[in-house]
Structure 1
Amino acid sequence: MVATLLHEIPLQGGDVTDGVVRVGDTVRRPASRSTPAVHALLRHLEAAGFDGAPRVVGMDEFGREILTYLPGTTGLRLESVTDEALAELAGLLRRFHDATAGFPLADVGWEGGSNDDRPPEVIGHCDLTPENVIFRRGTEGGGEPGPYAFIDFDLARPTTRLFDIVTTLRHWAPISDPVDRAPLLRGVEVGARLRLFCDAYGVPPRDRRRLLELARLRFHRSYTVMRTRATAGGNWAKMWAGGAGERIRRAAAWLDVHEDELHAHLV
């Protein structure tokens, strides 16, 4: 148990977790059902030498988890939507997946959510929105900032590599109707970005052929999961009331219209 003695600074961003604050060089987050599993994963990543995730410090006197604070920026900026940044993100996700090798894949203690039908291969982050990827400049301070770490592992769970790739590309390609995209991503060529990400990650041909099929399955299942969680109230209800379900439906419809051209880039 670690006592809180320093000033708390609220941290903004994300849709689901309230009450996240910075205290010195640490982050305090409300504990949840998945906290023990997440802490075990983060300790495994540390032991595996993966430096793109926070470290577990412990719990404070208020029952909040304590993680190391990772400096940098989040959200969509000019430097975070470039081809170079997308390729680096794919490489970071590949290193993360590889680092989960050997971690138990039992579906016990995780928050849960939509998933692939195939047997799990890795622990996926499953929520790599722009708010959960941290960018910073290189150690020498030169060049454009690049992605170097992931945060907010609350929705992590056993899954396939491809499912976690699809959840990531949902936000970063992005696989969405242009009306719902951030302005910086509204005019991008989605098919080319899908191909770039897959090349940088090393997605094999068999998975590239299945990527759009799995994206469609994820849209259907995530809609159902979010609608169910919204009935319990809280931030899930706020997200649903804010149009999350409609955005999923529009993304699925956009994918139906553009599937052939996207598939041509992938294969």
Structure 2
Amino acid sequence: MSVREIPLIGDVSEGVVRVGATVRRPMRPSSPAVHALLRHLEAVGFDRAPRFLGTDERGRTILTYVEGVVPAHPLPAYAVSDEALTAVARLLRRFHDAAASFTPPPGATWEDGSAPEGPAELVGHCDVTPANVVFRETTQGLLPYALIDFDLARPTTRLFDVVTTVRHWAPLADPVDRDPMQRSLDAAARVRLFCDAYGLSARDRLMLVETARIRFGRSYTLMRDRARTLGGGWARMWAGGAGGRIRRAAAWLDANEDAIQRSLLPGS
């Protein structure tokens, strides 16, 4: 008797389904490298990510299904709380510390994406949006528990991955483009809260705004080019105004740079 396949809808990923207690994902050129990363995370005891179980008869990746709740848009109140923000910062730090000892296999292929200048420090997740975080019930309510969808994982730096994450969770965005529950949030204060919970170094705090500015520019070019060449989810996001949102976010960052930098000063 066959087990029913339940489509799992994401922003970009196509053909991802749940089959019983597993998730099946189409293979990509970067899949072997991602599988090696997931095996490493399991080996070092990081239990907040799916486990790689092999491939099925159709050549699809088999991963464990992580039980919990993934917030959808419009975001619910639990996903924008200060407690959720600090929990996702600590989760990212745990992942980075676990990934820091990972050595990619020779000739590893990763997805192209926005990347920092200079040498990489580790392989980051590079897509820690609310849609890629599983929440579970705790004594404090629903809080981030695990990271999923490592398709965009690639060599990067801690700071670049932090910036990518606070982009969505602070968020670093024009209020007109934020989810309704995020529009009144003090993004500068939340950047500080995230960095404190993560334990970001003083040097990286000084570079955070400039790194975000670089990331916005590269993300705009990357998404535009992927929409043109790959189509699919990338084309849908671009047609839905992704380019305009990135441009507005960059302008918002310029206008709020001083407030963000002040929030990151010692003793502020």
Q: TM-score, normalised by structure 1?
A: 0.94
Candidates 55, 60, 67, aligned match of 1:59: 55
In structure 2, the partner of 1:150 is 147
Q: Say if 1:147 and 1:237 are closer, same or farther in 2 by CA, change over 3 A.
A: same
Candidates 222, 228, 233, aligned match of 1:235: 233
Candidates 66, 72, 77, aligned match of 1:70: 66
Check the 8 A contact 1:107/1:158 in 2, yes or no: no
Q: Distance in 2 between matches of 1:16 and 1:32?
A: 13
Q: Say if 1:219 and 1:107 are closer, same or farther in 2 by CA, change over 3 A.
A: farther
2:24 aligned with 1:25: no
- Count of residue pairs the alignment pairs up: 260
Shift of 1:263: 0.9
2:85 aligned with 1:89: no
2:137 aligned with 1:137: yes
Check the 8 A contact 1:19/1:30 in 2, yes or no: yes
> Which segments of 5 or more consecutive residues in structure 2 lack a partner in the other structure?
none
- Structure 1 runs of 4+ with >4 Å offset: none
2:235 aligned with 1:254: no
Residue 26 of structure 1 aligns with an amino acid whose one-letter code is: T
Shift of 1:107: 7.7
Q: Distance in 2 between matches of 1:88 and 1:238?
A: 31
Matches within 5 A, 1:1-267: 5-12=2-9, 14-75=10-71, 76-104=75-103, 108-138=108-138, 142-232=139-229, 233-267=231-265
Q: What secondary structure sits across from 1:88 in the alignment? A: helix
Shift of 1:81: 1.1
| CA root-mean-square deviation | 1.3
Q: Distance in 2 between matches of 1:107 and 1:175?
A: 35
Q: Distance in 2 between matches of 1:177 and 1:33?
A: 35
Q: Distance in 2 between matches of 1:201 and 1:87?
A: 8
> Which segments of 5 or more consecutive residues in structure 1 lack a partner in the other structure?
none
Q: Distance in 2 between matches of 1:116 and 1:132?
A: 22
Q: Distance in 1 between matches of 2:56 and 2:131?
A: 25
Identity across matched positions, percent: 63
Q: What secondary structure sits across from 1:137 in the alignment? A: strand
